[in-house]
């Protein structure tokens, strides 16, 4: 069976912020279809679509009320089928989000489950009696703030929600729930999707005894109270992997399909590896190891690569997505030169690579004033920034104010940051030195090199400010160097002088002695 996903580059689309095709200020499937040719021109292998299912949009689609239909805000099932066919016609695989740890509280399953302790779906969600004093059954905390339990007066019980109260957790201890979700998977696989991105995949099964989480060891009080616990009871239960095995068996019954899991746990890398051990777990998974990195240092990337040197699974890496501050701001501190070097380092890594829409433009985090915030997490945990909304502002297709070609309306569900307009797709298409063209060169180099796609990654001895590793497959070797400290560096290696440059970025140059790297220079050299 072809493993197209191994070493692939996947472009994440957040539909409501990608392109609005009907002028209502919200991106949609029609906008995604219009943008497919642009995405294909980047040289990526696949797209990942964030949720487009029916939803009350309390968490902007991650609260699903119908797993088998498209929300009218985004279009119709027929439009999705058209999108799928057009993407395949351009050589793009299509991965779609599956949000199975929880549903919307407006889902018919939860409405039925919350109505009575009797009935077919009474046990489809996680219900528990209160303690004798009326407080929740344990100390578990929700990721968006407050207890992970909400009282239901009809059942006179608490229900579990790891996120918003409007996102009740499904009960994976019930075999009917597992069977129903596997049938949801079949529905989309039969339509022809190429894979699933599995939201919080290690959250599915909870500790059946509902034991308390122990406290975490912390030097400082964290911003979110949930970080004060070690989540040993409400995440990553051993039984979770039994469902993963069932899902993998289903996927293996279809040709060339894949799964990528989102792993949220501490420590992140060992759990990421556990969930991808062959042959019966996820095809690949990503953690927040790079997504949470405050500074883009050589040590951060080096430790990520070295942790997988002897691991049996296959990693996935990303510097950005819809849940975190954009990497040019978070990791490069809004220095465009460093952002370019970080992008180059990401594309050279061993694993499946995910680019979030706008990464190819080097977009910094968008400014969103408090009164325009939409994200419930950003509002609940407001500490002076835009939270997740800063990464969700509309894509700038042109530099025309006010909305940069995203919509024909004068405004959108989130504002366009004026600072993004000079970084628009149209403006960068006309500039050969723009990040957009760097992205295309990087992806072309990766596609043309088996070593960069699937080879091993071996560390190279370098200065502290330089990330260095080589990718090797068969008789091909690519040496990869990235100056991330902001200081000039020289790599003395005679083999480099006679090598074939796949990329010289930021003024990097081969010399008789080896390689000269200016601040934030990058080089990929086949030797």
Separation CA 37–CA 48 (nearest Å): 15
Q: What backbone torsions phi and psi does residue 9 show, to the nearest 5 degrees? A: -115, 125
Q: Whole-angstrom Cα distance, residue 16 to residue 394? A: 8
Residue 132 pLDDT exceeds 70: yes
Catalytic residue (one of 59, 262, 274, 359): 262
Best CA proximity match to 7, nearest among 351, 360, 281 = 351
CA-based end-to-end distance of the chain: 31
pLDDT tops 60 at residue 436: yes
Residue 222 confidence (pLDDT) = 84
How does DSSP assign 223-285, residue by residue?
SSGGGGB--SSSS--TTHHHHHHHHHHHHHTSTT-EEEEE---SSHHHHHHHTT-TTTS-SEE
Whether the pLDDT of residue 250 is over 70: the answer is yes
Q: Which of 59, 199, 234, 274 is catalytic?
A: 199
Q: Does the annotation mark 262 as catalytic?
A: yes
* Mean pLDDT along residues 351-355: 98
pLDDT value at residue 208: 98
Band (pLDDT 50/70/90 cuts) for residue 445 is very high
Measured CA to CA, the distance from residue 278 to residue 491 in angstroms comes to 38
Neighbours of 326 (CB within 10 A): 25
| 141 vs 144: CA distance, rounded Å | 9
Identify the residue with better confidence: 312 or 258.
258
Residue 473 has pLDDT above 90, yes or no: yes
SS3 516: strand
pLDDT given for residue 381 in this prediction? 76
Q: Reply yes or no on whether the pLDDT at 492 is more than 90.
A: yes
Q: Which two tokens stand for residue 284?
A: 């690949």
pLDDT of residue 224: 85
Tens digit of each residue's pLDDT (9 = 90 or more) over 37-54: 999 999 999 999 999 999
Half-sphere exposure of 432 (CA within 13 A, CB side): 0
Average pLDDT over residues 185-189: 98
DSSP 215: B
Query: Mean of the pLDDT values across residues 150-160?
Result: 98
Q: For residue 199, indicate whether it is catalytic.
A: yes
pLDDT at 515 exceeding the cut of 60: yes
Q: In angstroms, rounded to a whole number, what is the distance separating the alpha carbons of residues 128 and 150?
A: 10
| Domains, the chain | 9-102+175-212+235-378+388-442 (3.20.20.80), 455-526 (2.60.40.1180)
Query: What's the mean pLDDT when you consider all of the chain?
Result: 96
Q: What is the pLDDT of residue 1?
A: 56
The alpha carbon of residue 398 and the mean position of all alpha carbons in its chain are separated, in whole angstroms, by 26
Question: Tokens standing for 306?
Answer: 């070295």
């Amino acid at each position: 069976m072809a493993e197209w996903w191994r070493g692939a580059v996947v472009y994440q689309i957040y539909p409501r912020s990608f392109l609005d095709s009907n002028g209502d200020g919200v991106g949609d499937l029609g906008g995604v279809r219009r943008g497919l040719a642009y995405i294909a021109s980047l040289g990526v292998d696949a797209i990942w679509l964030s949720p487009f299912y029916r939803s009350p949009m309390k968490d902007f689609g991650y609260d699903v009320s119908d797993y088998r239909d498209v929300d009218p805000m985004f279009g119709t099932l027929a439009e999705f089928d058209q999108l799928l066919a057009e993407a395949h016609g351009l050589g793009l695989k299509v991965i779609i989000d599956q949000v199975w740890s929880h549903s919307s509280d407006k889902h018919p399953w939860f409405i039925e489950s919350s109505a009575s302790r009797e009935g077919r779906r009474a046990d489809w969600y996680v219900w528990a009696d209160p303690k004798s004093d009326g407080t929740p059954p344990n100390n578990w905390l929700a990721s968006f703030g407050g207890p992970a339990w909400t009282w239901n007066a009809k059942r006179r019980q608490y229900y579990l929600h790891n996120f918003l109260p409007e996102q009740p957790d499904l009960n994976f201890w019930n075999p009917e729930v597992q069977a129903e979700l596997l049938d949801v998977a079949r529905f989309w696989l039969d339509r022809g999707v190429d894979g699933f991105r599995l939201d919080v995949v290690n959250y599915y099964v909870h500790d059946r005894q509902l034991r308390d989480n122990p406290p975490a060891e912390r030097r400082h009080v964290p911003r979110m109270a949930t970080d004060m616990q070690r989540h040993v009871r409400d995440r990553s239960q051993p039984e979770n992997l039994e469902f993963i095995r069932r899902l993998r068996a289903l996927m293996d019954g279809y040709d060339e399909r894949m799964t990528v899991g989102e792993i949220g746990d501490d420590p992140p890398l060992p759990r990421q590896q556990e969930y991808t051990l062959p042959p019966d777990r996820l095809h690949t998974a990503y953690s927040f190891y790079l997504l949470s990195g405050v500074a883009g240092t050589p040590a951060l990337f080096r430790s990520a690569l070295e942790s997988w040197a002897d691991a049996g699974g296959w990693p996935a890496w990303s510097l950005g997505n819809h849940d975190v501050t954009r990497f040019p701001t978070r990791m490069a501190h809004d220095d465009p030169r460093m952002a370019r070097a970080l992008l180059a380092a990401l594309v050279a890594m061993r694993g499946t690579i995910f680019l979030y829409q706008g990464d190819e433009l080097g977009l910094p985090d968008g400014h969103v004033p408090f009164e325009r915030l939409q994200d419930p997490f950003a509002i609940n945990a407001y500490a002076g920034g835009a939270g997740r909304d800063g990464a969700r502002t509309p894509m700038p297709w042109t530099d025309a104010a006010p909305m940069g070609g995203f919509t024909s309306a004068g405004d959108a569900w989130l504002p366009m940051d004026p600072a993004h307009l000079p970084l628009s797709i149209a403006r960068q298409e006309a500039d050969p030195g723009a990040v957009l063209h760097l992205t295309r060169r990087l992806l072309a180099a990766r596609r043309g090199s088996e070593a960069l796609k699937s080879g091993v990654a071996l560390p190279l001895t370098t200065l502290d400010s330089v990330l260095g590793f080589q990718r090797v497959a068969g008789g091909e070797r690519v040496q990869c160097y990235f100056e991330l400290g902001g200081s000039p560096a020289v790599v003395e290696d005679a083999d480099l002088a006679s090598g074939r440059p796949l990329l010289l970025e930021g003024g990097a140059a081969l010399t008789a002695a080896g390689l000269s790297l200016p601040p934030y220079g990058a080089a990929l050299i086949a030797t």
